[in-house]
Structure 1
């Protein structure tokens, strides 16, 4: 049986102020914890325990999401946060993390599942004692969750193709480099990109290759693809590691500027690639907002209040020209949190 908490949330500071507070210092570790009581009053003296399970430790996307989780906990008050995650994106590594968290019986769990199938049953079991909020990724049947919060990934994939069309108005061959099948977010990005490119007769889609979150493998994919398709015009890389590897492969092949690359996410490696011209555009998600709203939804569920079953956050297209603008800088991911 789930525990019931009644916690009165104090007024929430604006996300812009919270995001500014997020950009200072806190190392992402295998297990970090923070108590965010602040000066906010709560109607219960008992703290609410929230566990955030990242998709992978040390990823700037999930660090930024952690910043949002911690900022929400501080603003709302009376919330203890613990942060865990696997060292690699691997459901076999994430499952024991979830099992350990479930055994600790937190009031709520925010989690980015590593696989739509492998985490299904473990999360159903966890939901018997904790409120579950799915952040970023989801599972085959998320009906046990109080909310799913993620980017508009289909729209992000379509936007990536729009960016390529502006860079290559004459059309040509395009490639997608993805992580691996079975990840809800990147599957949706590929779907959005494929739908957009197939509707444009000027472009030839030569398919999707999987780099399994290994930049070196993504670089090899670029090299082998250029051997088979020397007239390749553009690459859409669906996540941080794919974009990093694509940029390396382009540079190694000596075709920087000739092959356009649009990457997903806005970590330091992507920004560096944008600055040096190996990547021409990046699609930045809003992980801070995802984490912040995840805590809000968990707290609402614990209070017995209505929750939003699905929340989609937006994205920002960042180019070298827009990088130093206020909007461009606000879109970049954090490396540490206060």
Structure 2
């Protein structure tokens, strides 16, 4: 594996860069003394969200606030919307949320705002930028570009086709990662980008798609999984086909399973985020919004490429499976 891959990881985690806009500064009937916060992440048990939740709980407790954390069983807007309705009824000072759909969650979150509940987006965001006081996420477009740069270095000069696996259409984070990946891969003439496939965030579906792609495209040299579920599914398919290491796999996120796959050679590189940092800053922004203090409307954190060669030195980027 080439040493140059390590140099690709130039982006530093927690190097937050604002959009230059200051978000909501309070008002709207919010009680500045409300000490109750709600956290609604995208999916229960997913290591990215577990890491985010653990850090958010610790930050809230240190600040003297109560944090009620919930998550749907699957990354679906219907269950998340139902849970959000219940949360609004408890009248927290703020809801910190990873919207599962960038359009469908707009109406219930607007209702929350109308009822004096501050809205802070973490990881994913609504298309309507007028509802939330603040949004915090990784620079997902840049992360997608980093994945493409990393994959191209792993493949080298070999010609062949490349597949990107997205999750659900309308998921802001993975759509941005796929876009960054597609635009960067286009700069490498030896690589032919196949149409992006959607997995509905199911590892089994990702595995089926990769298996079918291998059969239809024997020149497949690379796969990019835009999140941990797509990466895990792709790794399973490549292993079952005896193509691990022959087809270079770059995953997004550093879940325990993805890290294990990196160590045993089923994955060649991971693009890691900083969910703990996003969770901590999400709570800080929520508290500031409740108090009517200025908050940065949009903050982006960096991503880093981890390879088998560098993983022991970069294990502090690995995600947690429990608090």
Q: TM-score, normalised by structure 1?
A: 0.85
Partner of 1:87: 73
Partner of 2:56: 69
Partner of 1:49: 36
Deviation string, structure 1 residues 255-304 (Cα, Å, up to 9, x no partner): 11110000000101101110110100001111101110011111111121
The question of 1:119 aligning with 2:105 is answered: yes
TM-aligned CA deviation for residue 311 of structure 1:
0.3
Contact 2:124/2:172 (8 A) holds in 1: yes
The Cα RMSD (Å) is: 1.1
CA distance in 2, matches of 1:224, 1:165: 23
The question of 1:5 aligning with 2:24 is answered: no
Partner of 1:224: 212
TM-aligned CA deviation for residue 72 of structure 1:
1.2
Contact 2:30/2:118 (8 A) holds in 1: no
TM-aligned CA deviation for residue 127 of structure 1:
1.1
The question of 1:293 aligning with 2:281 is answered: yes
Partner of 2:122: 135
SS in 1 for 2:195: strand
Q: 1:164 aligns with which of 147, 151, 154?
A: 151
Partner of 1:281: 269
Partner of 1:334: 320
CA distance in 2, matches of 1:297, 1:158: 28
CA distance in 2, matches of 1:199, 1:167: 15
The question of 1:211 aligning with 2:238 is answered: no
Where in structure 1 do 4 or more consecutive aligned residues deviate above 4 Å? none
TM-aligned CA deviation for residue 317 of structure 1:
1.1
CA distance in 1, matches of 2:129, 2:57: 24
The question of 1:145 aligning with 2:151 is answered: no
CA distance in 2, matches of 1:162, 1:121: 38
Matches within 5 A, 1:261-272: 261-272=249-260
CA distance in 2, matches of 1:256, 1:56: 28
Q: 2:223 aligns with which of 235, 243, 247?
A: 235
Q: Please, which runs of 5 or more residues in structure 2 have no aligned partner?
A: 1-27
TM-aligned CA deviation for residue 4 of structure 1:
2.7
Number of equivalenced pairs:
294
Q: TM-score, normalised by structure 2?
A: 0.89
TM-aligned CA deviation for residue 67 of structure 1:
1.4
TM-aligned CA deviation for residue 233 of structure 1:
0.2
Matches within 5 A, 1:182-197: 182-197=170-185
TM-aligned CA deviation for residue 214 of structure 1:
1.0
CA distance in 1, matches of 2:309, 2:29: 51
TM-aligned CA deviation for residue 198 of structure 1:
1.2
TM-aligned CA deviation for residue 2 of structure 1:
2.4
Contact 2:166/2:197 (8 A) holds in 1: yes
Matches within 5 A, 1:295-314: 295-314=283-302
Q: 1:107 aligns with which of 93, 107, 114?
A: 93
TM-aligned CA deviation for residue 123 of structure 1:
0.6
SS in 2 for 1:144: coil
Partner of 1:200: 188
Partner of 1:249: 237
Q: 1:321 aligns with which of 290, 309, 312?
A: 309
SS in 1 for 2:299: strand
Partner of 1:177: 165
